[in-house]
Structure 1
Amino acid sequence: MIIDLISDTVTKPTAEMLEAMMNAKVGDDVFKMDPTVNKLQEKAAKLFGMEDALFFPSGTMANQTAIKLHTQPGDKLICDKYAHVYNYEGGGAAFNSGVTCKLIDGDRGMFTAAQLQEAVAGRSDIHVPFSRLVCIENTTNKGGGACWDFSELEKLQKISKENNLAFHLDGARLFNALVAKKETPKQYGKLFDTISICLSKGLGAPIGSILLGSKEDIAKALRIRKLLGGAMRQVGFLAAAGIYALDNHIERLDEDHQKAQIIGDVLKSCSYVTKVAPIETNIIIFYVDEKVGAANFIEKMKAKNILLSPMGEGRIRIVTHLDFTNKMLEKLLMELKNF
């Protein structure tokens, strides 16, 4: 039994999801003629109360499209130092859009309204890039699945609007935050200019992300997606998985969160663990004693068929997900206690 806790992207489609995929009606989506893709896009837009949506092969492409939508070469986007768009998208903001990043030193991937106000203040002459876009990530990956406080997001939106800045949400794990905080998609739809949501993480689809926004922005995004090579043909087979995920896999995310809390409690009781970061959703980040060493710990657990991921600076990550069963949980807890 392999227990893969490297990410929540490792899940396989359930039997019911596969059945939905195999029975999907498809067409050529490049010509907007795939009925299942159209249905998914309409469903997502309605869910968030936004005007339109566009299906993408990846969250990175959806985020990079949003950045290109809102900026021009030489502009500046503002994000946290932990932000996925800065750290884990291959330098795409610079390569695809020619923009620079102003990094805010937040807490677990989240910054305050006061910090944003400070970031947008100051000179605005020909010597400095124009600030055009604020990007936030919810939940924060590098911040250990942390959830933003919604009232703080409202303050950030107000500052963005006052300074003519677009406001984009990288919502790769947004549904984890919605379940954990008992919030609704429409709350976020009212707040952001564009939102990307991932279907292939906690929701368990094999591939796909969606970008939400105004009809005008999504019309522009359609062309950008083409430029980035993201136009797809009979992709309704994959869109059907997304529809099934939205219908069936949102509320169950709470199970992943509960398992993460159980793992965190056990880690805190282990003498070789020096720190466990706060756990809000399905991501656990912890540190082990220097005598043990993060790399050594990961290798020893791998030898027991338990796969974990390094996060740099001595951090180790565990991510719970749809395919992580109760039997696997029992095995993991036993190995952690006996290490």
Structure 2
Amino acid sequence: MASASTTVDLRSDTVTQPTPAMRAAMMAAPLGDDVFASDPTANALQEKIASMLGFEAALFVPTGTQSNLCAILSHCGRGDEYIVGQMAHCYRWEGGGAAVFGSVQPQPLDHAPDGTIPLAQIEAAVKPDDAHFARTKMLALENTLGGKLLPFDYVQAATGLAKSKGLQRHLDGARLFNAAVAQAAQTGSDARIEGRRIAQCFDSVSVCFSKGLGAPIGSALCGSREFIARAHRIRKMAGGGMRQSGLLAAAASHALDHHIDRLADDHALAQRLADGISGIDGFIVEKPQTNIVFVDLEGPAKAKSAGLMAHLAEHGVLATGLYKLRFVTHLDVDAAGVDRAIETVRAYFKN
């Protein structure tokens, strides 16, 4: 078994360790009590991310799950519903929190192959104003979704449709800056400009700092001052008031200053990985758009797949296989690590 120091961990971009510069920023951060809104570093982070994305205010929270929960419960009340994709994180992977804690009903819809929800399906899902139905209050999109960049013209059209129906619009932007970097590569623009363009299609946006940006903990929820005031109350009820949270906010702020543009490196490594494992008999490798590589197994590969995860772990390569084989590149993975992962996968199926 490989040691932790030699392991190539491709399970998720949440596994990163703070860089030395990030640790120094954390240790130097002035602290206060964020529950009293007196932590200067947390306050500065909230102002920074709100300004960056074009919102009036922001709220620093421990997790993306709590950020989405605060958003949904701030937009919707008991007996309301939100329209969302079947594979969206805030529906499928967050324990049903909006329904459990807020009595808010999700209305999940199927995705098209590119990750979008067809506009006709969104429109048809909006309920009439009738006592037989939950009140449709919000559309939730996710960008990136499973590593896919939602086309910007689609984002504009879907959020425009939602607005025309009187719905609030929330973006789970856990990997918003991965989307922004990918979109900037298409437009020749700057990732920060593209991030703001995406965000401004929505009434609220959740951004995760502990994924590709490489901070150890934390997300931010952005919106209007009135909306953030409501979310602040929900954060308190959910146990998200973290007192001297500036220690963590400093890491997030450092990530915003230093780790956005480097996401392009992760995207390039994901493509390198995809290219390296393509051609294995029975491997259906989805072309990555950002930092996530998905693989479907069929035929010979599927028949032999039972021991794959153990083989990878034995040789110091970690991945996930919850519903597909998934590899995620990030700050702590380099080209040598990706090449080692490729060699390990190929050796298993060769033998």
TM-score, with structure 1 as normaliser: 0.95
Which 10-residue stretch deviates more, 194-203 or 110-119? 110-119
Q: Distance in 1 between matches of 2:315 and 2:296?
A: 19
Contact 2:273 2:339 in 1 (8 A): no
Distance 1:191 1:311, change over 3 A: same
In structure 1, the residue corresponding to 2:269 is in which secondary structure?
Answer: helix
The answer for the alignment partner of 1:167 in structure 2 is 169
The answer for the alignment partner of 1:13 in structure 2 is 18
Which 10-residue stretch deviates more, 154-163 or 129-138? 154-163
5+ long unaligned stretches in structure 2: 1-5, 185-190
Q: Distance in 2 between matches of 1:44 and 1:35?
A: 14
Q: Distance in 2 between matches of 1:290 and 1:234?
A: 54
Contact 1:266 1:336 in 2 (8 A): no
What letter corresponds to residue 112 of structure 1 in structure 2? P
**Residue 103 (structure 1) shift:** 1.3
The answer for the alignment partner of 1:215 in structure 2 is 225
**Residue 292 (structure 1) shift:** 4.0
Which residues of 2 match residues 106-145 of structure 1 at below 5 A?
A: 106-108=111-113, 109-120=115-126, 123-141=128-146, 145=147
Contact 2:58 2:223 in 1 (8 A): yes
What letter corresponds to residue 277 of structure 1 in structure 2? E
Contact 2:171 2:199 in 1 (8 A): no
Per-residue Cα deviation, 1:108-142 (whole angstroms, up to 9, x for no partner): 4321222212222x64311111101100011013x
Contact 1:40 1:239 in 2 (8 A): yes
Which residues of 2 match residues 156-305 of structure 1 at below 5 A?
A: 156-182=158-184, 184-273=194-283, 275-293=284-302, 294-305=305-316
Within the candidate set 145, 149, 152, 2:151 is matched to: 149
Contact 2:312 2:318 in 1 (8 A): yes
The answer for the alignment partner of 1:311 in structure 2 is 322
Which 10-residue stretch deviates more, 18-27 or 295-304? 295-304
Q: Distance in 2 between matches of 1:92 and 1:163?
A: 25
Distance 1:138 1:295, change over 3 A: farther
**Residue 102 (structure 1) shift:** 1.1
Which 10-residue stretch deviates more, 246-255 or 320-329? 320-329
In structure 2, the residue corresponding to 1:140 is in which secondary structure?
Answer: coil
Q: Distance in 1 between matches of 2:295 and 2:50?
A: 37
**Residue 302 (structure 1) shift:** 1.4
Per-residue Cα deviation, 1:25-53 (whole angstroms, up to 9, x for no partner): 00011111100001100000110111000
Per-residue Cα deviation, 1:169-197 (whole angstroms, up to 9, x for no partner): 00000100100111522213321100000
Contact 2:64 2:219 in 1 (8 A): yes
The answer for the alignment partner of 1:331 in structure 2 is 340
In structure 2, the residue corresponding to 1:309 is in which secondary structure?
Answer: coil
Contact 1:270 1:336 in 2 (8 A): no
In structure 1, the residue corresponding to 2:166 is in which secondary structure?
Answer: coil
What letter corresponds to residue 302 of structure 1 in structure 2? A
Count residues with an aligned counterpart.
332
The answer for the alignment partner of 2:3 in structure 1 is none
Which 10-residue stretch deviates more, 124-133 or 199-208? 124-133
What letter corresponds to residue 255 of structure 2 in structure 1? A
1:43 has 2:45 as partner: no
Contact 2:116 2:154 in 1 (8 A): no
What letter corresponds to residue 12 of structure 1 in structure 2? Q
Q: Distance in 1 between matches of 2:306 and 2:93?
A: 21
Q: Distance in 2 between matches of 1:264 and 1:330?
A: 11
1:2 has 2:7 as partner: yes
What letter corresponds to residue 12 of structure 2 in structure 1? S
Per-residue Cα deviation, 1:151-173 (whole angstroms, up to 9, x for no partner): 11111111111111110000000
**Residue 291 (structure 1) shift:** 4.3
Contact 2:285 2:294 in 1 (8 A): yes
Identity of aligned residues (%): 42
Which 10-residue stretch deviates more, 293-302 or 88-97? 293-302
Q: Distance in 1 between matches of 2:135 and 2:112?
A: 25
Q: Distance in 2 between matches of 1:292 and 1:185?
A: 39
